[in-house]
Structure 1
Amino acid sequence: MATRVLTKLVSAAMALGLVLLGGGTASAAPPRNAEPVGIDVSWPQCGKTLPKQPAFAIVGVNNGLANTTNPCLAAQLAWANTAPSPALTAQPRVALYVNTANPGLQGSWWPSSNRYGGVDVANPYGVCGSGEGDFRACSYMYGYAKAYDDATIRGVDNPAKYVWWLDVETGNSWQTDKVANVADLEGMTAYFTSINAKVGLYSTGYQWNQIAGTVPASSPLAGLPSWLAGARSLTGAKSNCSSPALTPGSRVALTQYISAGLDYNYSCP
């Protein structure tokens, strides 16, 4: 009887671990651990079988570029909503992330005024289209416009209810003018804030420094939560919770690690 009881206890513990990890096949799950972890997905996971009931989920809105739509967005949002309720961590059950970029005049579209989406946008960098020296003002408007599009034409219902993470990576197009890149990200933040949505920043310390550099404490990016990539294991992700945040006054809220071909995420204490 003692053996049977022990066997039942072990089986129950293993089952609980699978529930917390979101179940799924052995090839899709990270090494078993006693803590709930989230998963982020986007267009690279189109058509793939994903672990069910992740502790929380973050879905990419774009198809790799800031001006595109993830073709699997609806299906992946439906998957994300299998996350347990109430939430198992401090993270919301479902959040979104968007690609960011500042292509400048090399982009397929570049703003020529401070007006977008039928709104005259208050631009702290001046007037886009006013002539020489307005590049930073136009960068701000480009970011604002991409965020507007993400929230209004990509197929996201009730965009204000989500946390929108700005994915800042060197793989996208950026300017050598870091102040202009910061202006771009501030423009995105301004739009999401205008609809009462929450905003966070995703990157690595190296990539952030290459793109944005040191952000002044007066910037709207200061204090936004940081989501840090780069870990190769849950242990590494936990360690990254104590790494420097991306902007002044920020805290590391979330860290990412890769396991069995999927991106997993740890909610920092």
Structure 2
Amino acid sequence: MPPEDTEFVIVGLTRGLAFTENPCLDGQFQWVLDQGVRAQAYAMATFPTAAQYDTYGDDGPWPVDTRPDRLRNVGYAEGRAALASLNEVGWRPERIWVDVEPRPQQPWPSSTATQRQENRYVISGLLAALSHAGYPHGIYSYVSAWEAITGSWQLPDVPVWSPAGHLDFASEASDLCVNNSFSGGTVHISQWTDGTYDYDMTCIGVYQAHVATIGWQPSVLDGASAGTTGRSLPMEALRLSVAGDRLSGDILWRGHVQNIGWQPWTTSAAPIGTTGLGLRLEAFELRLTGDLASQYSIRYRAHVQNIGWQPYGVDGATAGTVGQGRQVEAVSIELVPKLAPAFTAVYAAHVQNLGWTADVSDGTVAGTTGRSLRVEALHLTVSSTAYSGDIEWRGHVQSIGWQPWTSSATPIGTVGQGLRLEAFELRLTGEMANHYRIHYRAHVQDVGWQSWVADGRTAGTSGLGKRIEAVQILLAPRTGG
């Protein structure tokens, strides 16, 4: 089974070939239920044997008097066989992926254009079976396999699950999220392997900068810096992905470009800025749509020529400058959960040389950055008008280690002892835990802002002797994912 900290899995319905069953499906689905993780499914597509062609070619929604339609019927039967496995365990996954890869046991014929076209008929029939049953679906494959089997068939409206294999560089998997896919579809999930496990990441909030004299840089995510600082290099374009099936909606954005001005608003599928023209990006704006906008905000900021990092803007605010001829040099972008209105948390930090800071909420920074001052303690006040429960938390303190778990009524860390807070964890209890998630992160000595974590995960570090300098805490309703 997957590691205990797994948050998302994709479960196979077949055992290597179409018309086979995963013998472990019942136990794997039970694990999904027990762990409460998001789960999708995949099924293998296979070119039929002569016996399968004869058996299933005349049983489907297409006529039976031509070979293309009989192949479509076979693909349709492959889809229905996979769906039968789901019915047996009573599962309706949020998406089913169709795995199109070479099958040594039952090869795809692919030496001629006619054979590759016939392969398309089979795949299209399988996709139709999933669509007719009301399942969102997508394609799992990779460039060489897709080209050999289908002749690089373009399906721009069909989502993609794209594997990177063993990583040659750290951003190789996330780069797949923002680059053109093998079939022209939007990449929702990228995958890589360490030889033991396959790992998957949903392509939510991945972005990539095009910089003068450099070109497209490696992609980043979770508020990391894209672009350059200290090199006076203008950013020229940005790419962004928000695919991932968590919520409906998209990111709309636009860029302000040298000699052009504001570009039209566009979806995240289209880059902003320009490439090959030598024009600097001077400003940009982003906003969310659909359910994504109801549950999340988008925060972003720009590092601007002769100004440096600007403060964060949120949900449509302008980052950068207009009318000043200044280049954007780097950006930071992140999706952050909105504060749940019926559940509020107010927090403050006790900081070296400063004492207790003012109370803040809604993901506002408590503490300091850029001043090398340690956070020594945190206090938190939580209230809910809708559900019972509380926040439990604990801190990891210099020379002490992990403190015991305690309720939000008790601060974590120490005061008056000059000891740095190095890490902390928060989790919800009672009915609150069923309806909300708590998200938080730390700004750490020599590290900067870490990625957001949630629900009992560790923010900060332990065993490295590094101080926390600032924190952010957010509460958001659960979305079923």
Q: Scaled by the length of structure 1, what TM-score is found?
A: 0.65
Counterpart residue number, 1:166: 98
What CA deviation, in whole Å up to 9, does each residue of 1:39-91 have, x standing for no partner?
Answer: xxxxxxxxxx4312511110001111111101101111122334556xxxxxx
User: Number of aligned pairs?
Assistant: 196
Deviation at 1:102, TM superposition (A): 1.1
* Mapped contact 1:167–1:201 kept (Cα < 8 A): yes
Distance 2:18 2:84 in 1: 14
Counterpart residue number, 2:143: 205
Deviation at 1:235, TM superposition (A): 2.8
1:54 and 2:16 aligned: no
Relative to its length, the structure with more helix (as a share) is: 1
Higher Cα Rg: structure 1 or 2? 2
Deviation at 1:155, TM superposition (A): 5.0
Counterpart residue number, 1:139: 71
**1:211-222 alignment runs, 5 A limit:** 211-215=149-153, 221-222=155-156
- Residues 161 and 95 (structure 1 numbering): CA distance in 2 closer, same or farther, change over 3 Å? closer
What CA deviation, in whole Å up to 9, does each residue of 1:81-107 have, x standing for no partner?
Answer: 34556xxxxxxx110000111134264
**1:1-269 alignment runs, 5 A limit:** 49-84=1-36, 93-105=38-50, 107=52, 110-113=55-58, 115-116=59-60, 121=61, 123=62, 127-128=63-64, 130=65, 134-153=66-85, 155-158=87-90, 160-171=92-103, 172-176=106-110, 177-215=115-153, 221-233=155-167, 235-248=171-184, 250-259=185-194, 261-269=196-204
Counterpart residue number, 1:12: none
Distance 1:53 1:83 in 2: 9
Distance 1:188 1:68 in 2: 15
Distance 1:156 1:243 in 2: 38
Distance 1:257 1:186 in 2: 27
Secondary structure of 1:244's counterpart equals coil
**Partner amino acid, structure 2, of 1:61:** L
Aligned Cα RMSD in Å? 2.3
Distance 2:9 2:119 in 1: 28
**Partner amino acid, structure 2, of 1:184:** V
**Partner amino acid, structure 1, of 2:161:** W
* Mapped contact 1:53–1:80 kept (Cα < 8 A): no
Distance 1:99 1:203 in 2: 11
* Mapped contact 1:240–1:255 kept (Cα < 8 A): yes
Deviation at 1:261, TM superposition (A): 0.3
- Residues 223 and 108 (structure 1 numbering): CA distance in 2 closer, same or farther, change over 3 Å? closer
Distance 2:33 2:85 in 1: 21
- Ranked by relative contact order (alpha carbons within 8 Å, sequence separation 6 or more), the top structure is 1
Secondary structure of 1:189's counterpart equals helix
* Mapped contact 1:74–1:155 kept (Cα < 8 A): no
- Residues 232 and 180 (structure 1 numbering): CA distance in 2 closer, same or farther, change over 3 Å? same
Secondary structure of 1:201's counterpart equals strand
- Residues 268 and 200 (structure 1 numbering): CA distance in 2 closer, same or farther, change over 3 Å? same
Distance 1:156 1:52 in 2: 26
Distance 1:246 1:103 in 2: 24
Gaps of 5+ in 2: 205-481
Counterpart residue number, 2:445: none
- Residues 246 and 260 (structure 1 numbering): CA distance in 2 closer, same or farther, change over 3 Å? closer
- Residues 260 and 173 (structure 1 numbering): CA distance in 2 closer, same or farther, change over 3 Å? closer
Q: Scaled by the length of structure 2, what TM-score is found?
A: 0.38
**Partner amino acid, structure 2, of 1:74:** D
Relative to its length, the structure with more strand (as a share) is: 2
Deviation at 1:240, TM superposition (A): 2.0
**More deviation in 141-150 or 252-261?**
252-261
